[in-house]
Amino acid sequence: MSQPDLFVVCKNCGSEVSPYVTECPYCGQRVRKRAPKLNRGAEPKPPKIKRSRSLPRIRRGEIPGIAPDGRPWGTITLVVVSLLATVALSTGEVSVIDLGAVYGPLEGDWWRLVAAPFVYNNGGYEFVCLVSVGVFGTALERRYGTFVPVSIFLAAGAAGMALAVGTDMVPALGGNGAALGLVTAWFVDYRFGRNDGDADLLGLYVFAAVLFLMSVAYEPASIAAAVGGTMVGAVAGYGLAHRT
């Protein structure tokens, strides 16, 4: 497009005036009928503002801007099943063997490998195991969902019982191996996956030490079950840390 002149000359007084005026500012003589249009070029269109979806109403106890933690139902279920087995045992109507404890060769009762980690005959032993399951099962569940802690507990517990039977380190009952599986899985995942330095590992070391020492001091806890559960937990934690 052609550009307008820098100035025009008033025919009446001979003054140079702006090409964008219609009358001479010096003598008032009309120099043109209309001022030329300004060439503003293509102006960019303002960006469209995307409206975000409306957020749901804040629930009781929820802090605005922070996602609430759901309840760890998988971990809660593991603890409740153990407590129900203890309640059933306290009635005197069933024994630890009836509930699944391993006291010798399985003789086809493979279900005991899964059931035995839920059976306890000592209150202190049960307390330590269930607290460990609650703490580290919840930590894994909040990070990976319900399936992960439940599957690790069952796999580590069953592997520990199988190793106890295979090495003839029976009787074997309780969730010592299953609890160590959860503890080890969380630790290995933290070391190989995150390792951000924010976690205080002293509590983890205390839990692991108490669980292992209990396996040595209390025969039904079975050191073989502890070793088997720890191995499964290490594999599971490594898999979580290197998941795609």
Domain ranges of the chain: 73-241
pLDDT beyond 90 at 184:
yes
Mean pLDDT across 166-195: 92
- 63-121 per-position pLDDT tens digit: 444 445 678 999 999 999 999 999 999 999 999 999 999 999 998 999 999 999 999 99
Dihedral sign for Cα atoms in the order 162, 163, 166, 172: negative
Tell me what pLDDT residue 242 has: 87
H or E element at residue 79: helix 73-90
More confident residue, 12 or 227: 227
Tell me what pLDDT residue 15 has: 74
- Find the angle CA(202)-CA(205)-CA(208) to the nearest 5 degrees: 150
Residue partners of 47: CB distance under 8 A and separation at least 6: none
- 217-226 per-position pLDDT tens digit: 999 999 999 9
Q: For residue 216, how many other CB atoms are within 10 A of its CB?
A: 11
Fold of 73-241: Rhomboid-like fold (1.20.1540)
Length of the chain: 244
- Cis-peptide into 56, omega within 30 deg: no
141 close to 74: Cβ distance less than 8 angstroms: yes
Q: Which residues pair with 172 in a beta bridge?
A: 102
